[in-house]
Amino acid sequence: NAPNAVLAAAASLLGPRLSDGAREAAALMIDVFSAAGLAAAHDEDFALSRAPIDDAARERLLQAEPDPRAEALLAAVALRGARSVPLRWLLALGGHPRADAVLAALTTTVAWGPLQRKRISRLTVESLPAWMRLIGTLLGASVDAARHRADSFCDLPNDEVLGVRSLTELAALALLGRAPAANDLFAFQTLTGLLLTNGPGAISAQGAKGAVSADGPETPARVQLNKAMVGFLSHTGYAHGGNGFEGVAFLLERFAGQALSDPGDAGHGLDLDAMARDFAREYGAQKAASKESGGPGYTIPCINHPVFKDKPENIDPREAFVRQRIEARGEYNIFHDYYRRLVQALFDEGVTRNVFCVNVDALIATLLLKLMWQPLAAGRIRRAELETAAFTAFLYGRMIGCAAEIDDHLNRGRNMDTRTPQSQVRFVA
């Protein structure tokens, strides 16, 4: 299965009832702390006596025996030194908190400020526990089952997963299969930010919003968030998201047999202009032969774009942004350099009518190949694993962006209508 199909299967298992307890706990906390006049969810001076609840509400939050998941979350919060009025209030109730209640306390803490400023809706805050469960599950499902153990994730102990590492570090670990260095995290963060969204008209966003609209956002309780994520995942593929996957394979073919030890070394000694020119001539001959015979042509992955075209020299602004940031850090990537020389060579050899852009999919391919070139060359990972990682990197970024699209359509959308008025397109939160 392709990575998106694997994640869709995992999302399908997370029906809305699995998050009912946490959703109800979040709704209760919103009621309690709104009535109590809580201004800041991190206020250590807030008097808990201002937020009383009755016995029936208490029973929904507590249980007779300790909950191992709740205990693990509480230990992690203590280790991180986090402050939370909802969590402090929950612990002061006595008894043993349910894991759903602890999760709701944490998500309500994070969302309280934006909720008070009316940047997000109550519905969004009540949905946050379900989103935490969904995003965590999708991240885990992207990793081979052999790397999941009862006490660790990708060889990282659970205590460190919960209490020390950032989500960015965990996602990079899942993708790379090793602890990321500082440069790795920079590349991963930048890539994820770029891949969040192409805007509400992107195919992946249409799939997500179509699923919301089919359930009926005018009655939000009917909308199944996990199904909406399946809609996003089913609307990604080898043309939308997987082109970076194909780009890795393309680069491996171009650099096969080359003596390259470090793709980050600008003094690599390879003649990239000659490599690009030779392939451009070969590709031009193949293209002409295909046109003559009427056979199918081959499209070079990661160059050209349906929007960034028709200029003498075309630039994908996302690619340019990352390239400039990398250069400002004094870093180098031979694979990215090759792609930029290739689009020029294709024009110089008369294969293209103008200089095509190097698109954002090339960033996925070139950044990942640089990160994983040495373990690949040493035989520690297989080629198929590297190609799968390229597609997965796209899904990591887009799952965050599509979660925002789903929440937006849940709050603002209409039944059986996926449109977003251009006047309302402002930002992704």
Q: Would the pLDDT of 34 be above 90?
A: yes
116 three-state secondary structure? helix
**What's 303's DSSP letter?**
B
**Strand 152-153, strand 156-157: pairing:** antiparallel
Q: What digits encode the pLDDT tens for the residues 297-312?
A: 788 999 999 888 999 9
pLDDT band at 429 (very low <50, low <70, confident <90, very high): very low
In DSSP terms, which residues pair with 417 in a beta bridge? 414
What DSSP designation does 272 have? Answer: H
Contact status, residue 61 vs residue 93, Cβ threshold 8 Å = yes
Alpha helices in 217-263 (DSSP H): 225-234, 243-254
CB 111 within 8 A of CB 29: no
* CA neighbor of 98 nearest in space, from 80, 133, 134, 74: 74
pLDDT band at 380 (very low <50, low <70, confident <90, very high): confident
| Mean per-residue pLDDT, 381-407 | 89
| Closest alpha carbon to 263 in 388, 385, 408, 377 | 377
Which residues have a Cβ under 8 Å from the Cβ of 317 and sit 6 or more positions away?
308
Positive or negative CA dihedral for 283, 375, 171, 143? positive
Could you give the 3-state DSSP secondary structure of residue 147? helix
Instruction: Determine the residue type at 247.
Output: G
Looking at residue 67, its pLDDT comes to 96
Among the listed ranges 89-103, 223-237, 366-380, which one has the minimum average pLDDT value? Answer: 366-380
Packed helices 383-412 and 122-141: angle between N→C axes, nearest 10 degrees? 170
Greater confidence, 419 or 315? 315
State how far the alpha carbon of 1 is from the alpha carbons of 6, 85, 232, in Å.
6, 44, 16
- The closest alpha carbon to 191, from 395, 7, 15, belongs to 395
pLDDT band (50, 70, 90) for residue 427 = low
* Cα 350 from Cα 223, distance rounded (Å): 52
Cβ contact 225:254 at 8 Å: no
Taking only the tens place, the pLDDT of each residue in 264-293 is 999 999 999 999 999 999 999 999 988 877
Helix H or strand E encompassing 185: helix 182-195
Tell me what pLDDT residue 235 has.
96
φ, ψ for residue 303, nearest 5 deg: -125, 155
Per-chain mean pLDDT for the chain: 93
Give the mean pLDDT of 69-98.
97
Render pLDDT for 320-365 as a digit per residue (tens, 0 to 9). 988 999 999 999 999 999 999 999 999 999 999 999 999 988 888 8
Q: State the pLDDT confidence band at 32, using cuts at 50, 70 and 90.
A: very high
Question: 414 pairs with which residues across the strands?
Answer: 417
What is the distance between the alpha carbons of residues 275 and 254, in angstroms, rounded to a whole number? 8
Each residue of 61-79: pLDDT tens digit? 999 999 999 999 999 999 9
- Per the document, the length of the chain is 429
CA distance 67 to 64: 9
Give the whole-angstrom CA distance, residue 111 versus residue 121.
Answer: 10
Query: Hey, which bits of 105-208 come out as E strands?
Result: 148-149, 152-153, 156-157
Task: Tell me the C-alpha distance between 136 and 129, whole Å.
Answer: 11
Residue 365's CB is within 10 A of a number of other CB atoms, namely 28
Is the Cβ–Cβ distance between 411 and 123 less than 8 Å?
yes
Give percent of the chain with pLDDT exceeding 70: 98
Tokens of 163: 């209490």
pLDDT of amino acid 160: 97
Structure tokens at 37: 């006049």
The first and second tokens of residue 316, run together, are 């994908």
Q: What is the pLDDT of residues 128-164, one digit of tens each?
A: 999 999 999 999 999 999 999 999 999 999 999 999 9
